[in-house]
Amino acid sequence: MLLLIYSCNNIGTANFNGSAVLVDTGINLSLSSPTSSPSTDNTPTLLVSGLKSGQAIKLFSNSTCSIQVGSATSSGSSASVTSSSLSVGSYQFAFIVTENGSTSSCSGGKLSYEVTSAGPTLTFGSWITPSSATTAGSAAQMSKISFTVLGAQSGETVTIYTDSGCTSSVGSATASGAPVTANILTNSLPIGTSQTLSLYAKGSVTSGCQNLSKTFHFACPTGYVPVPKNSSVDAADDFCVMKWEAKCATDITGTSSCALGTGASSTTKVAVSTAQGLPWRSITQIQASTACLELNSLNDVTNRYDLISNPEWMAIARNIEGTASNWSNGSVGSGVLSVGHTNSSAGTYRACDGLLSNVTANDCTVGGVNPNYKRTHVLSNTQVIWDIPGNLWEWVDWSTAPGLASPPICGNGGWIEFSDVSTTCPGAYQSKEYLPLLTYTGAMSGYGLGQIHTGGAGAIIRGGEWYDGLTVPGIFAMMVHLGPGTSMPEIGFRCVYRPYN
């Protein structure tokens, strides 16, 4: 008996032998897993829909129904059929329906499917940069890494990820050469002191997300702490900053010519960030900039070390301001922020190594007589930084661009509150260049934020010094009336490391 079968998918005709069997007209084949073709899955599961309960389905991998690859019986209006293993190649799935002893002819409804090569396994080859980073957890003072990946096919695109699901791409390359190798240079990656990045790879032909069994840990240089970026103040990338005010490597005691301001020298006078020692002071802005820049050649990098810029200082200051533990009452904006070592009765500029022999009531630790003089602040990433306000004023470059940039001239000199800048120096500064993020009632200096000394001679210092008391110094304190050639025992500096340059 011949039944004509019509469907929205143009299934066609089916011939039944024996008793008449009613076959539904809406039978349809579709992919269930995977959901698309081509695929590396060589045992796909197909959904046969539009059936009657109890109908049996035989699945074939060719249009003449001569190669059976699966079967199933519907328990409702559909049935799932998983194909037996298929070789790499193209297939046209077809089916035969059986019910009550009667069997249809080979269906005219065919589903195209292609099995592609799963490809070889991708493996980690070797590090290119840094060349020494060959073990898990290795640290590097950079934001990008490059390495080789082996096992890809020639012309295949290999993509690197930092998650096991291969969703967070950080770089890719096309494999070539003999042996076939993909040389990967990653995008900029985050820096930190605790995070470790695991590396995964996926090829455009190679099957699945593959673990390269390599990890990498990006760290700041020794003695530096990572600072989160803040694009609202033009600090567009994370950066590293000296944890302590700069010291002279050959004069940790702070009593010889180096720390007393005769400038920088790549052989004998190197700026370092260490807990021990007195800060490098009586140095001009030009000399401070030179000392930081010379760290590039000493560490075999280019344009990464520099004198801290005003956008970077602002990123630190606003981060400190927005971290609750820095406020005396434990919540942001409640109480005051400490202004550091600014009490002249505690002595002049201090070491800040925390050793008992160097700790006085108002010195290196939290438990001083007055919490206003606490010298440490905590960043939002839990990193601790010393003497941003207090101890010494610090030279700051107005911008991150190469060369020293000068701040705008503001007024004729004298200390004023930040709230008075807009009237004393209308249009001179943008709020992102000097103002706290929060709005305060009354004088901002009363919250430990500092004041600004107006004027203009081509250079800027920030933070405050050891004998300034509680009003002038603060994380936002700023003085713009000195020239870049000024040298004073109350002025020091600190360097930054920019891994994204």
Return the SS3 of 195: coil
- The answer on pLDDT for 252 being more than 50 is yes
Residue 87 inside a domain? The answer is yes
Strand 478-479 relative to strand 452-455, pairing: parallel
Q: How many CB atoms lie within 10 A of CB 195?
A: 15
pLDDT single digits (tens) 157-182: 888 888 888 888 888 889 888 666 77
Residue 355 inside a domain? The answer is no
- Assess whether 129 and 203 both reside in one domain: yes
- Residue 142's pLDDT band (boundaries 50, 70, 90)? low
- The answer on pLDDT for 446 being more than 60 is yes
- Maximum average pLDDT range among 110-124, 305-319, 390-404, 433-447: 305-319
In DSSP terms, which residues pair with 65 in a beta bridge? Answer: none
- Assess whether 83 and 109 both reside in one domain: yes
Return the SS3 of 324: helix
pLDDT single digits (tens) 196-239: 678 888 888 766 788 888 877 777 888 999 999 999 999 998 89
Residue 259 inside a domain? The answer is no
- Assess whether 14 and 108 both reside in one domain: yes
Q: Spell out a b/e string for 387-404, using b for 16 or more CB atoms within 10 Å of the CB, else e.
A: bbbbbbbbbbbbebeeeb
- Residue 254's pLDDT band (boundaries 50, 70, 90)? low
- Assess whether 111 and 17 both reside in one domain: yes
Q: How many separate domains does the chain show? A: 3
Mean pLDDT of 47-58: 90
CATH number for 130: 2.60.40
Residue 270 inside a domain? The answer is no
- Assess whether 409 and 474 both reside in one domain: yes
Among 52, 87, 115, the domain boundary falls at 115
Residue 344 inside a domain? The answer is no
- Assess whether 82 and 148 both reside in one domain: no
- Assess whether 184 and 101 both reside in one domain: no
- Residue 351's pLDDT band (boundaries 50, 70, 90)? very low
Q: Which residue has the higher pLDDT, 194 or 326?
A: 326
Give the pLDDT score at 108: 60
- The answer on pLDDT for 362 being more than 50 is no
Domain of residue 80 covers 2-115
Residue 299 inside a domain? The answer is no
- Assess whether 100 and 157 both reside in one domain: no
Distance of alpha carbon 440 from the chain centroid: 32
Q: What is the CA radius of gyration of the chain?
A: 35
Among 200, 218, 236, the domain boundary falls at 218
Cα separation, 198 vs 211, whole angstroms: 8
Candidate from 118-122, 246-250, 274-278, 388-392 with smallest mean pLDDT: 118-122
Among 115, 137, 160, the domain boundary falls at 115
For residues 145 and 130, the answer to whether their CB atoms sit within 8 Å is yes
- Assess whether 25 and 106 both reside in one domain: yes
Token pair recorded at residue 420 = 């008075």
Residue 54 inside a domain? The answer is yes
- The answer on pLDDT for 355 being more than 70 is no
Q: How many CB atoms lie within 10 A of CB 167?
A: 11
Mean pLDDT of the chain: 80
CATH number for 42: 2.60.40.10
Cα separation, 160 vs 173, whole angstroms: 9
For residues 395 and 246, the answer to whether their CB atoms sit within 8 Å is no
Residue 368 inside a domain? The answer is no
Give the pLDDT score at 391: 85
Query: Structure pTM?
Result: 0.66
- Assess whether 459 and 441 both reside in one domain: yes
- Assess whether 7 and 107 both reside in one domain: yes
Q: Which residue has the higher pLDDT, 26 or 383?
A: 383
